[in-house]
Structure 1
C-alpha cells in the first residue's frame, strides 16, 4: 500500500512533468491556432471566428492557471498566496477565460448547425458579424458575472502549514461549486454540444441533396468538402471536451457529497491525487483544439503549412502576396454577385 508521502510525491510529479508537457504543447497549439484562423482563407467563416476567440482564451487560461498550478502544486512554490492582488487577479482571469473558451466551443457547434440548415432564416445567423457580436457579448458577460471573484477570493489559512487562494464567502463558494464547476464546465456544454452536434450530423447527411443546381460540380465538391471538414473538426472537439470534463465533474460531485465528512491524512492524500489527475485531464479542453483540428481536417493541415511558409518569407514578399490575394478575392466576389447568390459557409 502506498504511503501518504508516496501519494503526495506522485501528485507533485504529475503536475511537474505532465503539467509542463501540457503547458508547452498547449502554448504551441494555441499560438498556431491564432495564426491559422487569422488566415485569409478562414477569416470569412463565423465558425473560425469562434475558434479564434477560443484559442486566445485558451492561451490566456494556460498562462494564468496551468502555469500557476505547475509552480504551486508541482514545485511547491506558493508565491500566489502571499500576494493578495495577484491571488484575486489570477483566479479572476483564469475563471473568465475558461468560461469564454467553453462558451465559444458551444457557439461553434450551434454555428455549424445553422450553416447546415435548409431554411434561409437560420442560415442568416451564420455570419462573421453576428459571431463577433456574440463573442464580444460573451466576454463582457463573463467578466461581469465573475466580478464577485475579485471581491471574495483571497489567501486563506486552512492549517498552520497550509494556505490556499480561494473564496472567503460561503455563498459564492457554493455558486462556484454547483453553478460554475458542475453546470458551466460540465452539464451545459455536454447538453448543448451533444444536441447541436447530433442535429448538425443529421443535416450534413442530407445537405448534398439540397445544394443549388446552378453551382458547378467543382464548386459543389469544394463547398461540400469544406462543410464536412469543419463538421469533422467540431465532432472530434466535442468528444474530447466531454471525455476530459467527466472526471472533473465527478470529482466535484464527490467533493460536494463528502465535504462535511472528516477524513484521515491518508484518505486526504488519495483524494488529492484523484483531484490532480482530474484537473489535469480537464486542461485537454484548452490544449487539444489545434491537434484535433490537424488530425481531422485536410484543409486545416494545408493552411498550417501555408502559415509556416509565410512565417519564413520576407515581409515584402508576403505583403505583395496578400495584396494580390485580396485583389483576387474582390474580383471573385463581384463575379459571384452577378451570377448567383449563395449562402455563406
Structure 2
C-alpha cells in the first residue's frame, strides 16, 4: 500500500479527533451543567434514587471532559502529549480515567436497575428504590474504584524509549498491562456495562407496559414513566456509541501487533473514530433526555426561566432598590 494512502488515513483520523473532539467538548460543557441544574433544582429529582445516580453521573461526565477528552484531543489531534511532559500527570490521568469511566457506567447501570425495581409489580422490590440505599451504593462504588485504581498509580510511569530516547508514558508491568488489555477495558468498562444496561433496560421496558394498570400515585407513576423512558433512550445510545469500541478491541486483540504499515494506520484510524464515538457517552445524556422526554424539556424550561431567571431578576430589583436608598 502506498505511503500516500497511509498518510491520508493518518490525517483523516487526526481531523476526526480535532473536529469531533472539540464539538463534543463544547456540547458537553453546555449540556452537563444544564443537566445538573435541572436535576438539582427540582425536589422531585433530588429525592429520587434513580435521579441521584444521574446527578452523580453528570458530575463525573463533566470531569471526564476536562481530564479525559481534552487530553485525547491534544494528544491525538494536535500531537501535544501532556502525559509525556509530567510524571505526575502520567500517573494521575490513567488513575482518574479508570475511575471516571467505570463510575459513569456504574451510575447508568444502577439507574437502569433502579428503574427495573421501581416498575416491578412486586412491591417487595420497591424497597431498593430509596435515596439512602443509592447514596450508600455510590459511596461504596467510589471507595472500591479508588482502591482499584491504585495499580494505575504504581504501574504507569515515564519510560525512556530505546529508539528515540524520549520519555513515553506507559505501563511498567507486563502482567497489569495484560489485565488492562484483556479484561479492564474490553470487559469492565465496555462490554459488561452495555450488557447490564440492555438486560435491565429491556426488563424495565416490559414492566413499563403494565404500569398504567397499577394502583400507585399518579405523580409517582408519571415520574417512573419519565425516568424509564430517559434510561431506555440512553441504553439504546450505549449500544450505538460503545459497541464499535468493543468490536475494535476484539479485532485488535485477534490480529495482535501487526508489522504491516497499512494495517497499523487503518487500526489507528478506526481507533480515533471509535474513540470519538466512545466519548459521546459522556456528552450525550442531556441531549438524549431532552429529545426523549417532553416532561424533561418542560422541567428544563421551568427551572431556567421560572426558577433561576425570576430569582435573578428579583435579586437584581432588590439590589437596585438598595442602591437607590
Q: What is the TM-score when the length of structure 1 is the normalising length?
A: 0.85
Contact 1:60–1:94 (Cα < 8 Å) also in 2: no
Contact 2:82–2:89 (Cα < 8 Å) also in 1: no
Contact 1:236–1:296 (Cα < 8 Å) also in 2: yes
Number of aligned residues: 310
CA distance, structure 1, for counterparts of residue 268 and residue 160 of structure 2: 18
- The alignment partner of 2:45 has SS state of coil
Q: Displacement, 1:196? A: 1.0
CA distance, structure 2, for counterparts of residue 315 and residue 5 of structure 1: 54
Match of 2:38 among 36, 41, 50: 36
Match of 2:301 among 288, 299, 305: 305
CA distance, structure 1, for counterparts of residue 57 and residue 144 of structure 2: 15
Partner of 2:96 in structure 1? Answer: 93
Match of 1:190 among 177, 181, 194: 194
In structure 2, list runs of 5 or more residues that go unmatched: 316-325
Q: What do the CA deviations read for 1:154-179 (whole angstroms, capped 9, x no partner)?
A: 23355428864322111111111122
Contact 1:229–1:296 (Cα < 8 Å) also in 2: no
For 1:130-145, list aligned pairs within 5 A.
Answer: 130-145=133-148
- The alignment partner of 2:169 has SS state of strand
Contact 1:96–1:146 (Cα < 8 Å) also in 2: yes
CA distance, structure 2, for counterparts of residue 161 and residue 38 of structure 1: 51
Partner of 1:336 in structure 2? Answer: none
Match of 1:268 among 255, 264, 267: 264
- The alignment partner of 1:3 has SS state of helix
Match of 2:224 among 221, 224, 227: 227
In structure 1, list runs of 5 or more residues that go unmatched: 213-218, 319-345
- The alignment partner of 2:128 has SS state of coil
CA distance, structure 2, for counterparts of residue 242 and residue 62 of structure 1: 21
- Superposed CA RMSD in Å reads 1.9
**Residue 55 (structure 1) aligned with residue 55 (structure 2):** no
Q: What do the CA deviations read for 1:229-258 (whole angstroms, capped 9, x no partner)?
A: 211101110011122111111111122222
Q: What do the CA deviations read for 1:52-86 (whole angstroms, capped 9, x no partner)?
A: 00111111111101100111111111232121111
Deviates more, 1:180-189 or 1:42-51: 180-189
Q: Which has the higher helix share?
A: 2
For 1:111-150, list aligned pairs within 5 A.
Answer: 111-150=114-153
Q: Displacement, 1:99? A: 0.5
Contact 1:251–1:275 (Cα < 8 Å) also in 2: yes
**Residue 285 (structure 1) aligned with residue 288 (structure 2):** no
Q: Displacement, 1:312? A: 2.8
CA distance, structure 1, for counterparts of residue 76 and residue 195 of structure 2: 32
Match of 1:211 among 215, 236, 245: 215
**Residue 76 (structure 1) aligned with residue 79 (structure 2):** yes
Contact 2:71–2:81 (Cα < 8 Å) also in 1: no
